[in-house]
Each structure stands twice: as structure tokens, then as C-alpha cells.
């Protein structure tokens, strides 16, 4: 008879709470600070909206679709645990209650969908975003989650595992970050560029928000990676240490790359480096040593710093660098497991099998996500449309879509008021030289 491990249960519950913190408020702050001040509320609402839609969807059919009985290696039976009606508080999976595992996995689905929003910021209507979130988590996230973690094609019993070895993804390199990064890239191409992209600089409006959000993401990520051990044990400890050291290395290497290229290390670069390292270590957290995590983080910091500039060279408008950080970082971490896995990695005498398996899994995830996301994105574009009106994009999404603004408008934005003319003597003052 299975018994509940109260320590493991407490740890996974705490980890689930930390992962939810990653979306609300961490990602909302991180993304909200990176956009312009006239669209910060809309950006934050996209994170809240993702949580609202995905939370309900996950309980109704999402969990069952991801972890239900296998259908063709691609998806679980969505009706097996529909609405969780046949899962009680006494049901146990492993050493923790099944409901605890369901809650933990729900937060992964929420953050994955929310990550996509950064690629299409500053120009997207809210209702199409909510519709997309519900369809995408059903058509893309649920099946890919099943393929990797639910017993499907990319798992321990899939064709790659039979031909080589099982692909490794400890906490979501393929399921979360490559998935979200590819989806973000596809949607940027479908929706198009912001007005003024490549013509004027669109700087983050609140860098303290960005740094606060990145710090909270780092804290929440300990639940993301360490919680994936599903126990309070040595594996969770290894994942914790790797989750600490990889982003530290990535932040350092990103700032060095900035210093070499631009002459200065920026706060935005430091925050982005932290996130890049967190992304890269996610698939590797339980499989590599802390030294391996340092190498993975350091490499990811440099490559992601270089990748974020590609949008200007290639002309796609990834507003908040979802492609450069999450797609590239996810690919880096997923592939480098093939080198640094302490059990099967190339640098530990394991040969090329693990490396090839990692590349194949990453490639399959990219192709599947790209095709499915394109179908959803094009369908929405052809029916209700994605874009806000150009006038609203220029004047500000927050007021146009939500009827409110994050900051008090300047006096020039208030309706004209009757003026009272007062004539006062002008005090004499010394002239101030100009430069």
C-alpha cells in the first residue's frame, strides 16, 4: 500500500507556489517593465489572463491530456480525468497525493503560455490572446508535455529511446522553453511588427521593474527545478545548487559580452542573463554537476546575448526577446545535456547517443510547435484578427483596451480647463551659461 511522504508533499506544494510566483507577479513585472509605459497594464494582464484561462483548462482536460492514458504516443486521453472528478484526496502517485502533482504541473502550463506573450507585446488585442491561450495549451502544450513526461514519443518508451537513449528534460527545456520560444517566433511573423519597429528605439519604461521581476523569477525557479525532483532529497538539492550557479554564470557572461560589444554592462543585460541561465539549466538541473551547470550557464549567457540582436538583422519583431532568451536558451540547455550529463554525457564517457537524442528531441519539439502554432495563429488572424487599431497602438493600449493607465497622465493629457491669467513680476536672476 502506498503511503504519503509528508516531507515530499510539503516540498512539492511549496514548489508549486514558487512556480506560480514566477508568473504572478514575477513575469508580469519583468515583462511589464520592458514594454513602454502606455502598455504596461496590458502586458501584465496577458500574464494574469494566461493564468485564468490555463488554470481552468488544466483542471477540465489539460492534466488528463498531458498525463492520461497514451493515445498513439502523442497525447493522453483528455476524458480519462476530465474535471478531476475521479481523483480524490486519497489518491497517491508515487509518494505524494495526485492532486499535489496536478497542481504543480498546472503552474508549468501557466508559465509556458505566459512566456509567449512577451514576443507579441505592444500590438495585440486581449481577447484573441485569451482565445489563443486556451487553444494553444490544448493543442500544443498538453500533447508535447505528454510526449516528454507522460509516456509519449519523446519519453523513456519512445522511438528515440529505443534507437539511442531516452532524451533528458528534467524540468522543461523542450516542454516549456523551446515550446514557448518557437510559438513566440511564429506569432511575431503572423502578427507582424510594431509601428515604428527598426525606425526608433523602444526602450523599457521601468528597469527597476525588470530587475525586480528577474529576481523573483530566480527565486521562483528553485521551485521550478528543485520541485521537479518530486521529493525533498539529494536530487532536489543538486537541482537547487545548479539553479543557483547557472544563472550566476550566465549573468556574468552576458555582462562581459555587453562590455566587449557596447563598452558598458547594463541592468537589462544582467537581468536577461539571469533568465537565460535559468532557462538553459532547466532541462539539465538534475543531470549535471554544478561545474557542468556553470559551463551551461556561461555558454547560454553569451549565445543569448548575441541572439537577441538577430531580430533587428532579420526583421522579426520579438518585442521582449522571447526567441533570443527562451528558444535559444532552451536549445542550448537541451543540447548541452548531451555533453555534461554525468551519467550518459559525451564528456563523461557516454558517447554520442545522448547528444544525438537531445538534438532529435529538440528538433521534433520545434517542428511540432511551429506547425501547430501556425495553424492556430493563422486561424485567429483570418477570423477575429490579432492587431489593435494603429491609432490605439500609437496612443496607448492600456487606455484603449482596458480603460485605465498605469501612471497618472501628464497635464497635457487632461481636458482643457478654464485658465486664470495672473500677471506677476518676474524676479531677476543671473544668467546661466549653456553648454
Q: What is the pLDDT, as a whole number, of residue 429?
A: 38
Q: What is the pLDDT of residue 434?
A: 36
Residue 25 per-residue DSSP state = I
Tens-place pLDDT, residues 350-394:
999 999 999 999 999 999 999 999 999 999 999 999 999 999 999
Rounded-to-integer distance, Cα 122 and Cα 194, Å = 7
> Which residue in 14, 16, 221 sits closest to 103, CA to CA?
16
Predicted local distance difference test score (pLDDT) of residue 27: 98
The answer, yes or no, to whether residue 415 has pLDDT greater than 70, is no
**Angle (nearest 5°) at CA 52 between 48 and 55:** 125
Residue 106 grid cell: 498546472
Q: Mapping DSSP to helix (H, G, I), strand (E, B) and coil, where does residue 72 land?
A: coil
Band of the pLDDT at 1, cuts 50, 70, 90? low
Cα separation of 241 and 248, whole Å?
A: 11
Q: At which residue does the C-alpha cell 528515440 appear? A: 160
Q: What single string gives the DSSP state of each residue in 200-239?
A: S----S-HHHHHHHHHHHHHHHHHHHHGGGSSSSHHHHHH
Domains of the chain: 6-397 (1.10.3430.10)
The percentage of residues in the chain with a pLDDT greater than 70, rounded to a whole number, is 94
Whether 175 contacts 145, CB under 8 Å? yes
Q: What is the mean pLDDT of the chain?
A: 93
Please tell me the predicted confidence (pLDDT) of residue 409. 67
Q: Which residue has the cell 508580469?
A: 28
How far, in Å, CA of 333 to CA of 409, rounded?
44
Cell numbers representing residue 65 in the block: 491530456
Closest C-alpha to 336, from 287, 274, 270: 287
Residue 223 has pLDDT above 50, yes or no: yes
Give the residue-averaged pLDDT of 264-273.
97
| Cell numbers that stand for 346 in this block | 559525451
pTM, full prediction: 0.92
What CA–CA distance (Å, rounded) separates 338 from 350?
9
What average pLDDT does the segment 252-268 reach? 96
Whether residue 268 has pLDDT greater than 70: yes
Integer CA distances (angstroms), 320 to 34, 115, 210, in order: 7, 10, 11
Amino acid at each position: 500500500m502506498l503511503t504519503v511522504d509528508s516531507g515530499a508533499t510539503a516540498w512539492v506544494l511549496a514548489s508549486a507556489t514558487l512556480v506560480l510566483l514566477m508568473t504572478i507577479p514575477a513575469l508580469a513585472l519583468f515583462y511589464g517593465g520592458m514594454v513602454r509605459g502606455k502598455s504596461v497594464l496590458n502586458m501584465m494582464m496577458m500574464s494574469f489572463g494566461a493564468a485564468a484561462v490555463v488554470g481552468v483548462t488544466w483542471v477540465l482536460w489539460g492534466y488528463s491530456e498531458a498525463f492520461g492514458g497514451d493515445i498513439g504516443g502523442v497525447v493522453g486521453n483528455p476524458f480519462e480525468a476530465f474535471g478531476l472528478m475521479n481523483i480524490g484526496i486519497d489518491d497517491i502517485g508515487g509518494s505524494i497525493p495526485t492532486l499535489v502533482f496536478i497542481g504543480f504541473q498546472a503552474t508549468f502550463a501557466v508559465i509556458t503560455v505566459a512566456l509567449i506573450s512577451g514576443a507579441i507585446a505592444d500590438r495585440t488585442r486581449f481577447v484573441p490572446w485569451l482565445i489563443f491561450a486556451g487553444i494553444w495549451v490544448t493543442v500544443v502544450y498538453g500533447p508535447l508535455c505528454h510526449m516528454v513526461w507522460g509516456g509519449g514519443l519523446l519519453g523513456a518508451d519512445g522511438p528515440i529511446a529505443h534507437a539511442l537513449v531516452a532524451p533528458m528534460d528534467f524540468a522543461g527545456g523542450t516542454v516549456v522553453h523551446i515550446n514557448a520560444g518557437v510559438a513566440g517566433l511564429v506569432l511575431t511573423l503572423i502578427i507582424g511588427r510594431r509601428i515604428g519597429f527598426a525606425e526608433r528605439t523602444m526602450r523599457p519604461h521601468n528597469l527597476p521593474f525588470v530587475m525586480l521581476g528577474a529576481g523573483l523569477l530566480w527565486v521562483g525557479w528553485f521551485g521550478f527545478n528543485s520541485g521537479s525532483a518530486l521529493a525533498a532529497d539529494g536530487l532536489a538539492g543538486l537541482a537547487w545548487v545548479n539553479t543557483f550557479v547557472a544563472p550566476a554564470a550566465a549573468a556574468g557572461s552576458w555582462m562581459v559580452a555587453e562590455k566587449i560589444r557596447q563598452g558598458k554592462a547594463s541592468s537589462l543585460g544582467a537581468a536577461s542573463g539571469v533568465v537565460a541561465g535559468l532557462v538553459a539549466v532547466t532541462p539539465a538541473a538534475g543531470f549535471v554537476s554544478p561545474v557542468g551547470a556553470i559551463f551551461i550557464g556561461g555558454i547560454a549567457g553569451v549565445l543569448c546575448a548575441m541572439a537577441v540582436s538577430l531580430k533587428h538583422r532579420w526583421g522579426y519583431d520579438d518585442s521582449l526577446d522571447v526567441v533570443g532568451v527562451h528558444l535559444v536558451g532552451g536549445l542550448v540547455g537541451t543540447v548541452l545535456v548531451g555533453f555534461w550529463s554525468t551519467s550518459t554525457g559525451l564528456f563523461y564517457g557516454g558517447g554520442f547517443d545522448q547528444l544525438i537524442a537531445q538534438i532529435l528531441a529538440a528538433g521534433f519539439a520545434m517542428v511540432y510547435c511551429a506547425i501547430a502554432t501556425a495553424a492556430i495563429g493563422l486561424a485567429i488572424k483570418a477570423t477575429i484578427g490579432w492587431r489593435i487599431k494603429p491609432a490605439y497602438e500609437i496612443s496607448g493600449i492600456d487606455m484603449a483596451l482596458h480603460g485605465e493607465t498605469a501612471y497618472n497622465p501628464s497635464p497635457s493629457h487632461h481636458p482643457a480647463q478654464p485658465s486664470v491669467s495672473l500677471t506677476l513680476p518676474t524676479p531677476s536672476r543671473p544668467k546661466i551659461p549653456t553648454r
